[in-house]
Amino acid sequence: MALDMLDELAQWGLRPPLLTADAGYGQVAEFRQGLTERGIGYIVATTSSTTAQPGDAQPVQVPYAGVGKHPAPRYPHPARSLIHLALAHGADATTLVRWRARLPTPDRDPDRPIGELSGHFFALRVRPAGRAIRRGPHRGDDGVLPECWLLVQWPPGQDEPSDYWLSDLPADTPLAELVRLAKSRWRIEHDYRELNTALGLDHFEGRSWTGWHRHVTLTAAAHLFLTHLRLTRPKAAGQT
């Protein structure tokens, strides 16, 4: 469904410069491969159980038994879960990264100090594994799995990481940029909350498609107006 929506968007001559998604999408290898096939870069959350080879792992040639087809090269060790790779790397390798200013929330927490959002992260080069990837079109004839970033957030004092992301951004992408883009998905959650609480997206109680369509369209138009106002006249937006 999500890839179909991107295809429909492409028919309008539009394409996202980068796609972010939660683990419900990010853990699906077919979804990530679909983005690669469409030339859409991504940084998506995933689960600790997603499997991968280390970035420097290389397949080796399997001896030929003399019967049938020559076997394809294989990795000498089974793929490991992302939590296994992260634990092997260690919490001491994390770096404190600040990715944006904390937004004021006077309606919910007026006493919370306004500062910066920060956390401890590290990034590794890995090669995601799994049946879908092994059979996918992006694996080379030499058996090499495609390489990408594994971004890990590991809060101090915790026994294991709290969050994982996979990204096909270039190998020279700075850690701070990976974190900023991974955390940019908060904007989606913020917009959805604003649509519901401030603009009434979840107030519709009708039963017809036409009524629902009009309600959603007007709500989206109101949100577009507020977003434009925030970008062009931030002081005026703060008074709405």
Q: For residue 131, what are its two tokens? A: 């049946």
What is the per-residue pLDDT for 236?
Answer: 59
Domain ranges of the chain: 2-183, 193-238
CA contacts within 13 A on the Cβ side of 88? 9
Q: Which amino acid is at 182?
A: A
81 vs 61, higher pLDDT: 81
Mean pLDDT score, 94-121: 74
69 vs 82, higher pLDDT: 82
This prediction has a pTM of 0.81
Q: Per-residue pLDDT for 109 more than 80?
A: no
Least confident of 41-55, 60-74, 95-109, 194-208: 95-109
| Residues 114 and 105 sit within 8 Å (Cβ to Cβ) | no
What is the per-residue pLDDT for 139?
Answer: 54
The pLDDT-based confidence of 160 (bands split at 50, 70, 90) is very high
**Cα–Cα distance for residue pair 38/32, rounded to 1 Å:** 10
229 three-class SS: helix
**Cα–Cα distance for residue pair 41/118, rounded to 1 Å:** 24
What is the per-residue pLDDT for 138?
Answer: 53
**Cβ-based neighbour number of residue 84 at 10 Å:** 14
**Cα–Cα distance for residue pair 190/109, rounded to 1 Å:** 16
| Residues 153 and 178 sit within 8 Å (Cβ to Cβ) | no
Residue 139 makes CB contacts below 8 A (sequence gap 6+) with 133, 145, 146
Which ranges in 198-233 belong to alpha helices (H)? Answer: 209-232
Mean pLDDT score, 179-206: 87
Q: Computed over its alpha carbons, how large is the radius of gyration of the chain?
A: 22
Q: Is the alpha carbon torsion for 202, 204, 205, 208 positive or negative?
A: negative
**Cα–Cα distance for residue pair 55/77, rounded to 1 Å:** 13
**Cα–Cα distance for residue pair 162/124, rounded to 1 Å:** 16
The pLDDT-based confidence of 50 (bands split at 50, 70, 90) is very high
